Structures are given as structure tokens and as C-alpha cells.
């Protein structure tokens, strides 16, 4: 994909070229299983290929009129930074696991009461990670104006109510509870691509 241009076809090409789109038997972050996986860290390691994704998402989120971009650690850190680069004067924070199943702002990151933010994630499946960051933002008195993602692979309702803007919607990709996974039933080895 040429820098600064966007098309779904070129986006799929960049995912394939970088190894960010995989087929097999995968354990998702949510604990569910799927026959396809987006390892978008493989895309974000190529800034020139990431740039059209970031620029396009920044353009589509610009109407939210926010200056703070938050990414859930770890997958959302680079996408959040890449999007924020397109908004002069913006700042980027990331939320980390808090040890109690939630997310928290550490490293001195602070959100001011009433501060409007946008969350940027690499991929959304159920939205559980995003929902935990939203809870952390609200707990600090902030307001989430919206959520952006490079890939939306959700099937049904998300774990958050804020509006989602995604560049690629791929909700037709199946995912299953481990108990009902047909790939497990076939005896196919389970891969943990993020390991």
C-alpha cells in the first residue's frame, strides 16, 4: 500500500505481506478459538506500511475533536501513537493490566476530569480490553468520545457502548468457546501467536 492511500484491497495486501493475517487454529486474547488470526504487531513493525492505516483512522476519527489518544497495552500502543501523530498537539497514553483483571493508568499518566479521549486498538473481537480501558478513563473522570480500530472482527454486541470506527470489518470470521471449537474436536494443535 502506497503511503497515504487507502483501499480495502491494499490493506489486505499489507496484512498478508507482513504476516499480520494468519490461518490455522488460534487462541485469541479473549480465550476463544478461531481459524484466522490478526497479529497486527507484524504490521506495526513496518512504519511505512502502517502509515496509511494510521492516517486513514485519524481522518475518520477527527470529527470527535479530541487531543488525547489512549491505547490498551500492548497491542494498542503503537496504533494509538501512529494515529496521534496526525493530530498536532495531541498526547498519547496507554493503559496496562492492573493485576485485578482491569486496566489502569500507570507511569504517571493522568486524565483530567472531563477530558475527552479516543481509544485506539489494533483489533477488536469482543471489546473486553477496550471496555476495561473505558472503565479506567471513567474512573479518572474522563469521557470516551469514541473508539477506533484497524480491524473489527466482532460477531455480535461489543462489551462497550461507545461508537466504534474500524477500517476493516471482518465479522464473518468465526470464533468459538474452547468447549465448542470444531478445530479442537478435529485434534488440530492450538497456536498462541502472541507468545
**Domain 8-185 indexed as CATH 3.40.50.2000:** no
| 143: number of Cβ within 10 Å | 15
- Strands 116-124 and 143-152, bridge-based pairing: parallel
Alpha-carbon distance of 176 to 168, in angstroms, equals: 21
Name residue, grid cell 483489533: 123
HEC secondary structure over the chain = CCCCCCCHHHHHHHHHHHCCEEEEEEECCCCCEEEEEECCHHHHCCHHHHHHHHHHHHHHHHHHCCCEEEEECCCCHHHHHHHHCCCCCCEEEEEEECCCCCEECCCCCCCCCCCEEEEEEEEECCCHHHHHHHHHHHHCCCEEEEEEEEEECCCCCCCCCCCEEEEEECCCCCEECHHHCHHHHCCCCCECCCC
Alpha-carbon distance of 44 to 48, in angstroms, equals: 9
Helix (H) or strand (E) holding 59, with range, is helix 47-61
| 33: number of Cβ within 10 Å | 23
Kindly list the domain boundaries of the chain, sorted by start residue: 8-185
Strands (E), 1-76: 21-27, 33-38, 68-72
pLDDT tens, residue order, the chain (195 aa): 544 568 999 999 999 999 999 999 999 877 889 999 999 999 999 999 999 999 999 999 999 999 999 999 999 999 999 999 999 999 999 999 999 999 999 999 999 999 999 999 999 988 999 999 999 999 999 999 999 999 998 888 899 999 999 999 997 888 899 999 999 999 999 999 887
Q: Which pLDDT score is estimated for 2? A: 47
Q: Which pLDDT score is estimated for 5? A: 67
The answer to whether 35 touches 25, Cβ cutoff 8 Å, is yes
Closest of 73, 77, 74, 135 to residue 102, by C-alpha: 135
Amino acid at each position: 500500500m502506497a503511503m497515504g492511500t487507502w483501499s480495502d484491497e491494499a490493506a489486505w495486501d499489507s496484512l498478508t505481506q507482513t504476516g499480520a493475517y494468519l490461518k490455522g487454529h488460534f487462541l485469541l486474547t479473549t480465550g476463544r478459538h478461531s481459524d484466522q488470526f490478526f497479529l497486527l504487531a507484524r504490521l506495526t513493525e513496518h512504519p511505512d506500511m502502517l502509515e496509511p492505516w494510521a492516517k486513514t483512522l485519524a481522518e475518520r476519527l477527527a470529527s470527535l475533536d479530541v487531543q488525547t489518544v489512549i491505547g490498551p497495552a500492548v497491542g494498542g500502543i503503537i496504533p494509538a501513537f501512529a494515529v496521534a501523530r496526525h493530530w498536532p498537539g495531541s498526547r498519547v497514553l496507554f493503559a496496562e493490566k492492573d493485576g485485578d483483571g482491569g486496566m489502569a493508568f500507570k507511569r504517571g499518566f493522568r486524565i483530567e476530569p472531563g477530558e475527552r479521549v479516543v481509544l485506539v486498538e489494533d483489533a477488536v473481537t469482543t471489546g473486553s480490553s477496550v471496555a476495561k480501558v473505558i472503565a479506567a478513563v471513567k474512573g479518572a473522570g474522563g469521557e470516551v468520545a469514541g473508539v477506533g480500530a484497524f480491524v473489527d472482527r466482532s460477531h455480535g454486541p461489543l462489551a462497550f457502548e461507545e461508537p466504534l470506527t474500524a477500517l476493516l470489518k471482518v465479522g464473518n470470521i468465526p470464533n468459538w468457546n474452547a468447549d465448542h471449537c470444531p478445530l479442537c474436536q478435529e485434534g488440530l494443535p492450538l497456536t498462541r501467536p502472541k507468545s
